[in-house]
Amino acid sequence: MTALSRDDVAHLAHLARLAVTDEELDLFAGQLDVILSSVAHVADVAADDIPPTTHAVPLTNITRPDALGPCLHPDEVLAAAPAAQGGRFRVPRILNEPA
């Protein structure tokens, strides 16, 4: 596999919403490259006609009764939030214009 550059790692960090430092970019670029190189050999297995697996016991169409049940209490939920206002989560601005 191609080597992962510092810029590649910066792009991944942006996609993953991680404000990594310059120092970390240097460290992670080397480490991620080693890790990805070592796992790339999964591609060596001939598996074109092999179906993927996700569960030891295949399950389909899982449903449960459409019945009322207990739900979380809003006060308890909002008490655990980093910021709440007027019974809702308070969020920083989500659009890219200045406030």
Partner 1 sequence: MTASSSLTAGTAVEIAALIASGEVSAVEVTQAHLDRIASDDGALHAFLRVDTDGALASAKAVDDQRAAGESLGPLAGVPLALKDVVVTRGLETTSGSKILAGWIPPYDATITARIKAAGIVILGKTNMDEFAMGSSTENSGFGPSHNPWDLDRIPGGSSGGSSAAVAGGLAPLGIGTDTGGSIRQPAAVTGLVGHKPTYGGVSRYGLIAFSSSLDQAGPFGRTVLDTALLHETIAGHDLSDSTSIPAPVPPVVAAARAGASGDLTGLRVGVVRELGGHGFADGYEPGVLTSVGEAVEVMAGLGAEIVEVSCPHFGYALAAYYLIAPSEASSNLARFDAVRYGLRVGDDGVRGLDEVMALTRQAGFGPEVKRRIMIGTYALSSGYYEAYYGQAQKVRTLISRDFAAAFGAADVLVSPSTPTVAFPLGARTDNPLAMYAADLCTLPASLAGTPAISVPSGLSDGLPVGLQIMAPALADDRCYRVAAAVESALDARRGHPLLQEIPIR
Q: Catalog residues that contact partner 1 under the rule CB under 8 A.
A: 4, 9, 12-21, 24, 27-28, 31-32, 34-36, 38-43, 45, 47, 50-57, 59, 62, 64, 72-73, 76-77, 79-83, 89, 91-96, 98-99
In 3-state terms, what secondary structure has residue 45? coil
Smallest distance, Å, CB 55 to partner 1?
A: 6
In the complex, least distance from residue 94 CB atom to partner 1, rounded to whole angstroms: 5
Q: How far apart are CA 28 and CA 34, in angstroms?
A: 10
Sign for the pseudo-dihedral over CA of 77, 82, 88, 94: negative
Least gap, CB of 96 to partner 1 (angstroms) = 6
Read off the amino acid at residue 57: V
The rounded Cα 49 to chain-centroid distance in angstroms is: 29
